[in-house]
Amino acid sequence: MENKRKQEKAWVINQTEMIPGIMDLLIKAPKTAAAAAPGQFLSLYCGDKSRLLPRPISICDTDKFTGAIRLVYRVGGAGTEEFSKLGPGETIRIQGPLGNGFPLDPGFSSVMIVGGGIGIPPLLYLAKSLHIKKTLVMGYPSVTYLDEELAQHGNLYIATEDGSRGTKGNVINAIEENGLTADAIMACGPIPMLRALKQYGEAHNMRVIISMEERMACGIGACLACVCKSTEKDAYLNINKKRVCLEGPVFDAREVEL
């Protein structure tokens, strides 16, 4: 068989801690980078043999010219802990790009890009790649990250839970406080945020496009681990479920139950 896709052994170009607990990893993986689109993700594999399952991490940015991919991730469990130790020249096994990203020619002319917490990284790549009118709304617990870079791609509004910057509260508070409007919302973040945005979109007649998360095993549609509930019967699965890894992670909010 020709034209098969392969896991890539990526080289670490650099890695820094952006803010406590959040790492900024730059890897060189030309084949994967070449195919990547905003909203897609990679499966990252651990070196430690006791950890078999991939860690899905969204593509935060790519440089197609140098073949670099940027990943921004939170150190939570053992796998991300392992990744956080990687230094320049070390390698990491990756598979991707996986899933369906955000529509880049979406058929509307203005969009609010809304991110929350560790859902923010893929939105940088999206903001860079989407050439329509963009307003950015990012919610953080307290310390902000990626905000300066995001601000280069549209007006940026910030919400922090502790009120240390921008609107005190969540992204909805920031949207309302600043009276922001757009034809549509594209969002990534925790489920409660996505749920609130879906309602907000319905109330304001805006299309809402969201990126979902679920625990995965294969990352390529084969194991049915990562399903979310869909409002309609999925054409392929023949039940009211969709695979986050294959039909998603990006869905029209109307398609899925939150």
Partner 1 sequence: MNLSVNIAGVTLKNPVMSASGTFGSGHEFADWMDPGKLGAIVTKGVSAVPWEGNATPRVAETPSGMLNAIGLQNPGIDVFVNRDLPELEKYADTKVIVNVCGKTAEDYIRVVERLSEEPRADLLEINISCPNVKEGGIAFGQNADSVYEITKKLAEVSKKPIIMKLSPNVTDITEMARAAEAGGADAVSLINTLTGMKIDIERRRPLLANMTGGLSGPAIRPVAVRMVWQTVRAVKIPVIGMGGIASAEDALEFLLAGASAVAVGTANFNDPLTMEKVISGIEKYMERHGMDDVSMLRL
Binding residues for partner 1, rule: CB under 8 A, are: 1, 4-7, 45, 49-54, 93, 95, 214-228, 236-241, 246
**Considering beta carbons, is residue 6 or 49 the nearer one to a second copy?**
49
- The option from a second copy, ligand FES, ligand FAD, none interacting with 80 (CB < 5 to 8 A, set by class) reads ligand FAD
The correct pick among 38, 103, 166, 249 for binding ligand FAD (CB under 6 A) is 249
Residue 118 interacts with ligand FAD (CB under 6 A): yes or no? yes
Q: How far is the CB of 202 from ligand FES (least distance, A)?
A: 28
Helices (H) and strands (E) in the chain, counts: 6, 16
**Considering beta carbons, is residue 124 or 226 the nearer one to ligand FES?**
226
- d(Cα 9, Cα 217) in Å, to the nearest integer? 19
Residues at the interface with a second copy (CB under 8 A): 47-51
DSSP state letters, 225-247 = -SEEEBSS--TTTSSSEEETTTT
The correct pick among 34, 35, 191, 223 for binding ligand FES (CB under 6 A) is 223
What token pair was written down for 165? Answer: 């910057």
Contacts of 8 (CB under 8 A, 6+ apart): 29, 31, 32, 93, 94, 95
The correct pick among 18, 53, 143, 220 for binding ligand FAD (CB under 6 A) is 53
Cα→Cα distances 111→53, 102, 195, Å: 35, 12, 18
- The option from ligand FES, a second copy, ligand FAD, none interacting with 49 (CB < 5 to 8 A, set by class) reads a second copy
Q: How far is the CB of 217 from ligand FES (least distance, A)?
A: 5
Question: How far is CA 87 from its chain centroid?
Answer: 23
Cα→Cα distances 235→231, 239, 240, 242, 247, Å: 12, 8, 9, 9, 10
- d(Cα 187, Cα 198) in Å, to the nearest integer? 10
Yes or no: say if 222 and 245 are a contact pair by the CB < 8 Å rule: no
The correct pick among 77, 223, 231, 239 for binding ligand FMN (CB under 6 A) is 223
Query: What is the C-alpha R_g of the chain?
Result: 18
- The option from ligand FES, ligand FAD, partner 1, none interacting with 129 (CB < 5 to 8 A, set by class) reads none
Q: Which of residues 70-89 bind ligand FAD (CB under 6 A)?
A: 73-74, 76-80
Judged by phi (left if over 0) then psi (alpha if -120 to 50, else beta), residue 96 lies in left
- d(Cα 141, Cα 147) in Å, to the nearest integer? 13
Residue 53 interacts with ligand FES (CB under 6 A): yes or no? no
Residue 125 interacts with ligand FAD (CB under 6 A): yes or no? no
**Considering beta carbons, is residue 182 or 213 the nearer one to ligand FAD?**
213
Contacting positions for ligand FMN (CB under 6 A): 217, 223
Residues that bind ligand FES (CB under 6 A): 216-219, 221-226, 243, 245
